[in-house]
Amino acid sequence: MDSLLGLTGNGFVVLAADASSIHSITMLKSDSDKIMPLGKNRAMAITGEAGDTDHFGSYIQKNLNLYDISYESPLSVNASVNFIRSELATALRKHPYNVNILFGGVDGTGAQLYWMDYLGSLSKLNFAAHGYFGHYALAYFDRHWKADMGEEEAIEVLKGCMKEIPERYIINQPLDKFVIKVVREDGVERIVNPFL
């Protein structure tokens, strides 16, 4: 089932998303990359209805890229996430998108992680989750997350959180089917899943 996890560290944001694409009780594919880079220092993990995630994600990616090219300067992380929230809230009154988002970015103000739901609600957090597993993940992050964690320590916290999935989740969600990316000021990097 759709799960998004994210946490901040000292100058980076780690985003993780399961790679399954499902409809009702049917698995459509198990190699989806739900984390989209949005320029050099921003990324968006998106989940929801398959058509909505593809359409809205592509729309946001192309519009932020257009802004970067038009003005020869990228939007700040805060401005980028508020643009996404505004577009989601506007669409809510016309053609709502059933998408939930974790947005991570790093700029001069530091690492930032934002939680956004399909209604356009927006919160800046140190750690966040979407999906059924989010209830367990938030409790785990609350116990183990620390300010100014290094990348290796953050990956260990994420790994420990993901180990809880098969123990607490009644649905089989393979841990090796998660995509994990680290967002830094100098780029977005996909890292090797520690469960492979």
SS3 192: coil
Residue at 143: amino acid letter: R
CA-based angle 25:47:137, to the nearest 5?
A: 90
Question: What is the Rg, in whole angstroms, of the alpha carbon atoms belonging to the chain?
Answer: 16
Instruction: Characterise 127 by phi-psi region: left (phi > 0), alpha (psi -120 to 50), beta (else).
Output: beta
| List of the chain residues with pLDDT < 50 | none
Neighbours of 121 (CB within 10 A): 12
**pLDDT recorded at residue 27:** 76
Tell me the domain boundaries of the chain.
4-191
CB 77 within 8 A of CB 85: no
pLDDT of amino acid 2? 80
Per-residue pLDDT at 196:
62
d(C-alpha 115, C-alpha 192), whole Å: 24
Answer whether CATH 3.40.50.300 is correct for domain 4-191: no
Cβ–Cβ under 8 Å, residues 168 and 178 = no
CA dihedral 68, 78, 15, 42 (to 10 degrees): 10
| DSSP-assigned letters across all residues of 57-77 | HHHHHHHHHHHHHHHSSPPPH
Rounded to an integer, what distance in angstroms lies between the CA atom of residue 16 and that of residue 186? 19
Taking residue 124's Cβ as centre, other Cβ atoms within 10 Å add up to: 14
Q: What is the pLDDT of residues 41-71, one digit of tens each?
A: 999 999 998 889 999 999 999 999 999 999 9
Confidence (pLDDT) at 7: 97
Compute the C-alpha angle 110/62/7, nearest 5°.
Answer: 30
> Are the beta carbons of 63 and 25 closer than 8 angstroms?
no
